[in-house]
Amino acid sequence: MKWFFLTLILNLGCSQNADSYEIKRKIMVKDQIKRRGVEDKLVLKAIQKVEREKFVPEKYHALAYTDGPLPIGYKQTISQPYIVAYMTEHLQVDKQHKVLEIGTGSGYQAAVLAEMAKHVFTIEIIPELAESAEKVLDEIGYKNITVMAGDGYKGWPEEAPFDRIMVTAAPTKIPEKLVEQLAPNGRMILPVGEDVLSQYLWVIKKNKKGVVTKEKILPVRFVPMVKE
Protein backbone atom coordinates (compact mmCIF):
# COMPACT_ATOMS: atom_id res chain seq x y z
CA MET A 1 0.00 0.00 0.00
CA LYS A 2 2.82 2.36 0.96
CA TRP A 3 4.47 1.74 -2.43
CA PHE A 4 1.17 2.30 -4.22
CA PHE A 5 0.81 5.80 -2.75
CA LEU A 6 4.46 6.58 -3.32
CA THR A 7 4.12 5.56 -7.00
CA LEU A 8 0.95 7.60 -7.33
CA ILE A 9 2.56 10.70 -5.85
CA LEU A 10 5.61 10.27 -8.04
CA ASN A 11 3.50 9.81 -11.16
CA LEU A 12 1.38 12.83 -10.38
CA GLY A 13 4.31 15.01 -9.42
CA CYS A 14 5.16 17.33 -12.31
CA SER A 15 8.86 17.73 -11.64
CA GLN A 16 10.71 14.68 -12.90
CA ASN A 17 14.37 14.50 -12.00
CA ALA A 18 17.06 11.83 -11.94
CA ASP A 19 16.29 11.03 -8.27
CA SER A 20 12.59 10.53 -8.82
CA TYR A 21 13.34 8.26 -11.82
CA GLU A 22 15.75 6.30 -9.64
CA ILE A 23 13.02 5.75 -7.05
CA LYS A 24 10.50 4.81 -9.75
CA ARG A 25 13.01 2.28 -11.08
CA LYS A 26 13.43 0.75 -7.64
CA ILE A 27 9.67 0.40 -7.27
CA MET A 28 9.42 -1.06 -10.77
CA VAL A 29 12.12 -3.65 -10.03
CA LYS A 30 10.46 -4.64 -6.78
CA ASP A 31 6.77 -4.62 -7.76
CA GLN A 32 6.80 -5.57 -11.44
CA ILE A 33 9.88 -7.71 -11.82
CA LYS A 34 11.04 -9.38 -8.57
CA ARG A 35 7.46 -9.99 -7.45
CA ARG A 36 6.78 -11.94 -10.66
CA GLY A 37 9.75 -14.18 -10.04
CA VAL A 38 12.81 -12.75 -11.80
CA GLU A 39 15.67 -13.45 -9.39
CA ASP A 40 18.96 -13.14 -11.28
CA LYS A 41 20.93 -10.48 -9.42
CA LEU A 42 22.78 -9.30 -12.51
CA VAL A 43 19.54 -8.89 -14.48
CA LEU A 44 17.96 -6.91 -11.63
CA LYS A 45 21.10 -4.77 -11.35
CA ALA A 46 21.08 -4.03 -15.09
CA ILE A 47 17.39 -3.07 -15.05
CA GLN A 48 17.97 -0.93 -11.96
CA LYS A 49 20.73 0.90 -13.81
CA VAL A 50 19.34 1.56 -17.31
CA GLU A 51 17.32 4.77 -17.48
CA ARG A 52 14.22 3.70 -19.39
CA GLU A 53 12.92 7.26 -19.71
CA LYS A 54 15.82 8.03 -22.08
CA PHE A 55 14.49 5.46 -24.54
CA VAL A 56 10.90 6.72 -24.82
CA PRO A 57 9.57 9.88 -26.48
CA GLU A 58 9.51 12.90 -24.18
CA LYS A 59 5.73 12.90 -23.83
CA TYR A 60 5.96 9.44 -22.21
CA HIS A 61 8.78 10.24 -19.77
CA ALA A 62 6.42 10.27 -16.80
CA LEU A 63 5.12 6.83 -17.84
CA ALA A 64 8.55 5.28 -18.39
CA TYR A 65 8.26 3.02 -15.33
CA THR A 66 4.67 1.85 -15.75
CA ASP A 67 3.92 -1.83 -16.18
CA GLY A 68 3.52 -2.12 -19.95
CA PRO A 69 4.87 -1.43 -23.42
CA LEU A 70 4.96 2.18 -24.70
CA PRO A 71 4.85 3.61 -28.25
CA ILE A 72 8.21 4.64 -29.73
CA GLY A 73 6.91 5.82 -33.12
CA TYR A 74 6.66 4.05 -36.49
CA LYS A 75 3.92 1.81 -34.96
CA GLN A 76 6.54 0.11 -32.78
CA THR A 77 6.78 -0.28 -29.01
CA ILE A 78 9.39 -0.59 -26.28
CA SER A 79 8.61 -3.87 -24.48
CA GLN A 80 7.10 -4.16 -21.00
CA PRO A 81 9.93 -3.99 -18.41
CA TYR A 82 8.97 -7.38 -16.95
CA ILE A 83 9.26 -9.05 -20.37
CA VAL A 84 12.68 -7.45 -20.91
CA ALA A 85 13.80 -8.82 -17.52
CA TYR A 86 12.23 -12.25 -18.11
CA MET A 87 13.82 -12.70 -21.53
CA THR A 88 17.19 -11.44 -20.32
CA GLU A 89 17.12 -13.86 -17.37
CA HIS A 90 16.29 -16.81 -19.64
CA LEU A 91 19.11 -15.90 -22.02
CA GLN A 92 21.73 -16.42 -19.25
CA VAL A 93 24.15 -13.81 -20.54
CA ASP A 94 27.65 -13.39 -19.16
CA LYS A 95 30.57 -10.99 -19.60
CA GLN A 96 32.32 -13.22 -22.18
CA HIS A 97 29.33 -13.33 -24.50
CA LYS A 98 28.90 -11.91 -27.95
CA VAL A 99 25.16 -11.21 -28.26
CA LEU A 100 22.94 -10.55 -31.27
CA GLU A 101 19.64 -8.73 -30.83
CA ILE A 102 17.06 -8.51 -33.62
CA GLY A 103 14.69 -5.53 -33.33
CA THR A 104 16.67 -2.67 -31.75
CA GLY A 105 13.56 -0.47 -31.47
CA SER A 106 14.35 2.15 -28.83
CA GLY A 107 17.69 0.55 -27.88
CA TYR A 108 16.54 -0.19 -24.29
CA GLN A 109 16.87 -3.98 -24.44
CA ALA A 110 20.28 -3.60 -26.12
CA ALA A 111 21.40 -1.40 -23.21
CA VAL A 112 20.21 -3.98 -20.65
CA LEU A 113 22.07 -6.74 -22.54
CA ALA A 114 25.19 -4.56 -22.84
CA GLU A 115 25.33 -4.24 -19.04
CA MET A 116 25.81 -8.02 -18.88
CA ALA A 117 27.60 -9.05 -22.10
CA LYS A 118 30.93 -8.41 -23.76
CA HIS A 119 29.40 -6.93 -26.91
CA VAL A 120 25.90 -6.52 -28.32
CA PHE A 121 25.23 -6.39 -32.06
CA THR A 122 21.71 -5.19 -32.78
CA ILE A 123 19.74 -4.98 -36.03
CA GLU A 124 16.71 -2.75 -36.73
CA ILE A 125 14.75 -2.75 -39.96
CA ILE A 126 13.39 0.83 -39.63
CA PRO A 127 16.40 3.08 -40.38
CA GLU A 128 15.03 6.03 -38.36
CA LEU A 129 14.72 3.86 -35.24
CA ALA A 130 18.21 2.40 -35.77
CA GLU A 131 19.56 5.93 -36.02
CA SER A 132 17.79 7.29 -32.92
CA ALA A 133 18.72 4.20 -30.86
CA GLU A 134 22.35 4.56 -31.90
CA LYS A 135 22.27 8.22 -30.90
CA VAL A 136 20.84 7.65 -27.43
CA LEU A 137 23.16 4.68 -26.75
CA ASP A 138 26.10 6.84 -27.83
CA GLU A 139 25.02 9.73 -25.60
CA ILE A 140 24.75 7.41 -22.61
CA GLY A 141 28.25 6.19 -23.44
CA TYR A 142 27.89 2.52 -24.41
CA LYS A 143 31.02 1.37 -26.22
CA ASN A 144 29.99 -2.27 -26.47
CA ILE A 145 26.91 -1.92 -28.68
CA THR A 146 26.93 -1.87 -32.49
CA VAL A 147 23.67 -0.90 -34.22
CA MET A 148 22.94 -1.78 -37.84
CA ALA A 149 19.94 -0.82 -39.96
CA GLY A 150 18.94 -3.95 -41.87
CA ASP A 151 16.90 -7.12 -42.06
CA GLY A 152 17.23 -9.31 -38.99
CA TYR A 153 16.17 -12.47 -40.88
CA LYS A 154 19.68 -12.48 -42.37
CA GLY A 155 21.37 -12.22 -38.99
CA TRP A 156 24.89 -10.76 -39.02
CA PRO A 157 27.07 -13.32 -40.87
CA GLU A 158 30.26 -11.20 -40.64
CA GLU A 159 30.06 -11.28 -36.83
CA ALA A 160 28.65 -14.81 -36.36
CA PRO A 161 28.69 -17.06 -34.43
CA PHE A 162 26.94 -15.54 -31.41
CA ASP A 163 26.84 -16.99 -27.90
CA ARG A 164 23.40 -15.54 -27.37
CA ILE A 165 20.63 -14.29 -29.67
CA MET A 166 17.49 -12.40 -28.63
CA VAL A 167 14.72 -11.57 -31.07
CA THR A 168 12.23 -8.90 -29.93
CA ALA A 169 9.78 -9.03 -32.86
CA ALA A 170 7.74 -12.15 -33.66
CA PRO A 171 8.40 -14.21 -36.79
CA THR A 172 5.82 -16.85 -37.76
CA LYS A 173 8.51 -19.56 -37.74
CA ILE A 174 11.91 -19.90 -36.06
CA PRO A 175 14.35 -18.26 -38.55
CA GLU A 176 16.85 -21.00 -39.50
CA LYS A 177 19.54 -18.44 -40.46
CA LEU A 178 19.60 -17.28 -36.86
CA VAL A 179 19.83 -20.83 -35.50
CA GLU A 180 22.80 -21.37 -37.85
CA GLN A 181 24.51 -18.26 -36.43
CA LEU A 182 24.28 -19.60 -32.89
CA ALA A 183 27.61 -20.81 -31.44
CA PRO A 184 28.03 -24.25 -29.80
CA ASN A 185 26.67 -23.98 -26.22
CA GLY A 186 24.60 -21.08 -27.56
CA ARG A 187 21.13 -20.01 -26.57
CA MET A 188 18.45 -18.00 -28.33
CA ILE A 189 15.16 -16.58 -27.07
CA LEU A 190 12.41 -15.36 -29.36
CA PRO A 191 8.64 -14.90 -29.69
CA VAL A 192 7.12 -17.02 -32.47
CA GLY A 193 3.54 -17.07 -33.78
CA GLU A 194 1.17 -16.52 -36.66
CA ASP A 195 -0.61 -13.65 -34.86
CA VAL A 196 -0.64 -11.85 -31.50
CA LEU A 197 -3.09 -14.35 -30.02
CA SER A 198 -0.94 -17.39 -30.70
CA GLN A 199 2.56 -16.18 -29.90
CA TYR A 200 4.87 -18.00 -27.50
CA LEU A 201 8.37 -17.33 -26.30
CA TRP A 202 10.75 -20.11 -27.33
CA VAL A 203 14.18 -20.94 -25.97
CA ILE A 204 16.50 -22.60 -28.48
CA LYS A 205 19.64 -24.30 -27.19
CA LYS A 206 22.58 -25.56 -29.23
CA ASN A 207 24.85 -27.98 -27.36
CA LYS A 208 28.61 -28.23 -27.79
CA LYS A 209 28.17 -30.81 -30.56
CA GLY A 210 25.75 -28.54 -32.42
CA VAL A 211 22.57 -30.43 -31.54
CA VAL A 212 19.60 -28.05 -31.31
CA THR A 213 16.67 -28.32 -28.85
CA LYS A 214 13.60 -26.08 -28.74
CA GLU A 215 11.29 -25.29 -25.83
CA LYS A 216 8.12 -23.15 -25.64
CA ILE A 217 7.97 -21.20 -22.36
CA LEU A 218 5.44 -18.35 -22.16
CA PRO A 219 2.52 -16.82 -24.12
CA VAL A 220 3.46 -13.26 -25.20
CA ARG A 221 2.45 -10.40 -27.50
CA PHE A 222 5.10 -8.84 -29.71
CA VAL A 223 4.96 -6.77 -32.88
CA PRO A 224 5.48 -8.97 -35.96
CA MET A 225 8.94 -9.47 -37.42
CA VAL A 226 8.55 -8.07 -40.91
CA LYS A 227 10.16 -9.23 -44.15
CA GLU A 228 12.25 -6.76 -46.11
Q: Which residues bind ligand SAH (CB under 6 A)?
A: 76-79, 102-103, 105-106, 108-109, 123-126, 129, 151-153, 168-169, 223, 225-226
**At its nearest, how many Å lie between ligand SAH and the CB of residue 38?**
16
CB 228 within 8 A of CB 209: no
15 catalytic, yes or no?
no
Which has the closest alpha carbon to 185: 203, 163, 202, 166? 163
Least Å distance between CB 41 and ligand SAH? 21
Choosing from 20, 79, 132, 198, the catalytic residue is 79
Min dist CB 197 to ligand SAH, Å, is: 18
Catalytic residue numbers read 79
